[in-house]
């Protein structure tokens, strides 16, 4: 009985190890054009810290009240726009947030190309 249980356990271990085939390594991925470091209310303002990885680009803070569809981009308003000559960190501010629940995206414009981060929901805590 003990031998049979040992044999079954050994068979399961061998079957679960797989064939040992390894896939080739993936090449390193390029970073996103803009990355959100942090975003949130500081007093009555919303402050967003971002890292732009594109030279000669415009960085925009886009925002809107949360509403029904936080993922929708058609009603986003430009809150601040900054032009950068070289990649680096940037601080963007919304000095007049319209609601306690806001949706923000940070966008990068370079020539005719525009790229946006995923939606970030910011909540004012009192």
Evaluate whether residue 45 is within a structural domain. Answer: yes
Of residues 21 and 73, more confidence is placed in: 73
CB of 118 closer than 8 Å to CB of 106: no
Range of the domain at 62: 31-123
Closest CA to 92 of 39, 58, 48, 56: 48
pLDDT given at position 10:
73
Evaluate whether residue 5 is within a structural domain. Answer: no
Evaluate whether residue 113 is within a structural domain. Answer: yes
pLDDT given at position 35:
92
pLDDT given at position 78:
94
Q: Which helix (H) or strand (E) holds 3?
A: helix 2-16
Closest CA to 58 of 120, 115, 119: 115
**CA gap 78, 99 in Å, rounded:** 16
Q: For 20-24, 80-84, 93-97, 122-126, which range has the lowest pLDDT when averaged over its residues? A: 20-24
In the three-class reduction of DSSP (H, G, I as helix; E, B as strand; rest coil), residue 8 is classed as helix
**CA gap 70, 102 in Å, rounded:** 9
| Number of domains forming the structure of the chain | 1
At 20, is the pLDDT very low, low, confident or very high (cuts 50, 70, 90)?
low
Evaluate whether residue 12 is within a structural domain. Answer: no
**pLDDT (tens digit, 9 = 90+) per residue, 77-120?**
999 999 999 999 999 999 988 888 899 999 999 989 999 999 99
In the three-class reduction of DSSP (H, G, I as helix; E, B as strand; rest coil), residue 85 is classed as coil
pTM, two decimals, is 0.74
CB of 47 closer than 8 Å to CB of 79: no
Query: The domain that contains 97 carries what CATH number?
Result: 2.60.40.2440
pLDDT given at position 60:
95
Q: For 22-31, 58-67, 98-107, which range has the lowest pLDDT when averaged over its residues? A: 22-31
Evaluate whether residue 40 is within a structural domain. Answer: yes
Q: How many CA atoms lie within 13 A of 26 on its CB side?
A: 3
Evaluate whether residue 96 is within a structural domain. Answer: yes
Evaluate whether residue 69 is within a structural domain. Answer: yes
């Amino acid at each position: 009985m003990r031998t049979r249980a040992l044999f079954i356990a050994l068979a399961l271990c061998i079957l679960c190890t797989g064939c040992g085939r390894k896939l080739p390594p993936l090449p390193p991925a390029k970073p996103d054009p803009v990355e959100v470091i942090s975003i949130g209310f500081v007093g009555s303002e919303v402050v967003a810290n971002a890292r732009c990885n594109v030279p000669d680009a415009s960085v925009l803070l886009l925002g809107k009240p949360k509403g029904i569809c936080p993922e929708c981009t058609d009603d986003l308003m430009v809150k601040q726009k900054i032009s950068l000559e070289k990649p680096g960190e940037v601080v963007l501010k919304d000095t007049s947030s319209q609601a306690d629940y806001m949706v923000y995206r940070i966008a990068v414009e370079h020539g005719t190309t525009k790229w946006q981060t995923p939606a970030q929901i910011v909540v004012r805590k009192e």
